[in-house]
Structure 1
Amino acid sequence: MMVWSAIFLSALAMTVIIALRYIVSSGLFAWISVRMRPGIYDGQNRQIQREIGWSLLSAAIYGIPAGIVAWGWQAHGWTLVYTRWDAYPLWYLPVAPLVYLFLHDTWFYWTHRLMHRPTLFRAMHAVHHASRPPTAWAAMSFHPYEAITGAVVIPVLVFLVPIHVAMLGIVLLIMTVMGIINHIGWEIVPRSIIHSRLGAWLITASHHHRHHEQYRCNFGLYFRVWDRLCRTDGGLSEP
């Protein structure tokens, strides 16, 4: 009984953490957006309310597997997450986050593209695309079925790819920030970066906004690698 209580409390704690992370980070970028682009979200109050509602439900769906894995890591040493800086060569520290982001991006691209098939779109993905145009509150606005596809990624990867706990924190930070800035409805990244060689392979609001406009292109999450390889890169929009 105590084990189940510990697992429940861990899942509950992770749900609260994810929900608070969402409220604080999306709220911050929403505030920045309104300051930088006055009137950008005018007339979208009801949409924003829906986005917040779906996102808080998604926080619970993300929190349950995260809480179970966190409990297993702390109580039984599950996962390949490590805390000693010398457990692996120092050169591996920045490599692990890149591996996580690439694998997450790969999973996202193919599941996202699959969810654009008509039947799955109606059942899973239409909730997210109801955000037209998206706002800073839309990054986690998913139907529960879609939220499940995203919630399992990191809990699975920590069993497959070793990573320092601090580097895992960086992965989660990048996930949060990029998820939000790609939906804020305007381009926060300097044009000099977007139109650079590096920017040609990164996804920002200009790239993802085109997806929300046309639906059939720009399926990636962090990188444009799969979009370019599969010829689904629709270029940039002007959010």
Structure 2
Amino acid sequence: MWTAILLSAAAMTAIVALRYLASSGIFALATNRRLPGYHAKLGKQIRSEIGWSLASAAIYGIPAGIVAWGWQERGWTRIYTESDAMPLWYLPLAPLLYLLLHDAWFYWTHRLMHRPRWFKAMHAVHHASRPPTAWAAMSFHPWEAITGAMVIPLLVFLVPIHVTMLGLVLLVMTVMGVTNHMGWEMFPRALVHSRLGGWLITASHHQRHHEEYRCNYGLYFRHWDRLCRTDKGLSERI
């Protein structure tokens, strides 16, 4: 049993690391085409971002691997594969619930990590990226990585979700984590400045967090920032 758990954790760590390298690499290449020279003087920073991110991959991969083993071998989680296990209307609702709950957790832990002691101990590693790049998506101190790594593994024990919808959640989490740090806005201006865009977080919104630190703490949605009056709008630099 323990060998199987270790193998599952190792496999998931490798998957998370390869997912990070592939997604950040693709958007870093896009950045080089969109903003020639943006990375020119950031070689040392990018190497540091990659190093911290690969360490974070293990911290994310180990609990994910344990949960994957428990799902397959013991049926521990509420992940399901049968099309009729839940009503059809629930299929798209589940990923929205996951994103909303993840966003709430992220907002409050992120805001906590901006308190001076917590910032110095945990979050300063992430903000050492000046300016942030696509490689900074998982550039976290281990303690910060732990706070992020526990969310989805806990949710799969609490909230039913089809395995394909769980894949969608992980895709959104990966893409937004990378694109929000790459220094330019990939989404159309018409969307970013629309009524819908006013509730979504994209690079323009998160860039301002990296510029001013004490604002724009959300991950996917802006409602917590708006409710708590920490939303300072979009960056004017991108």
TM over 0.5: yes
Q: TM-score, normalised by structure 2?
A: 0.99
- Give the aligned partner of residue 233 of structure 1: 231
Q: Percent identity?
A: 74
Residue 199 (structure 1) aligned with residue 197 (structure 2): yes
The letter of the residue matching 1:159 is: F
**Distance between the aligned counterparts of 1:187 and 1:95, measured in 2?**
28
**Distance between the aligned counterparts of 1:164 and 1:225, measured in 2?**
26
How far 1:94 sits from its partner (Å)? 0.4
SS of residue matched to 1:232: coil
How far 1:115 sits from its partner (Å)? 0.2
How far 1:85 sits from its partner (Å)? 1.0
Equivalent in 109, 112, 122 of residue 111 of structure 1: 109
The letter of the residue matching 1:105 is: D
SS of residue matched to 2:131: coil
**Distance between the aligned counterparts of 2:131 and 2:203, measured in 1?**
11
**Distance between the aligned counterparts of 2:193 and 2:99, measured in 1?**
22
**Distance between the aligned counterparts of 2:129 and 2:95, measured in 1?**
30
The letter of the residue matching 2:86 is: Y
How far 1:36 sits from its partner (Å)? 1.4
Q: TM-score, normalised by structure 1?
A: 0.98
Residue 134 (structure 1) aligned with residue 132 (structure 2): yes
- Give the aligned partner of residue 14 of structure 1: 12
User: Could you list the runs of 5+ residues in structure 1 that have no partner in the other structure?
Assistant: none
- Give the aligned partner of residue 217 of structure 1: 215
How far 1:42 sits from its partner (Å)? 1.5
Q: 1:41-60, aligned counterparts within 5 Å? A: 41-60=39-58
**How well do the aligned residues superpose, as a CA RMSD in angstroms?**
0.5
Post-superposition Cα deviations, 1:140-180, rounded to whole Å, max 9, x if no partner, equal 00000000000000000000000000000000000000000
After the TM superposition, which segments of 4 or more aligned residues of structure 1 sit over 4 Å from their partners?
A: none
Aligned residues: 237
User: Could you list the runs of 5+ residues in structure 2 that have no partner in the other structure?
Assistant: none
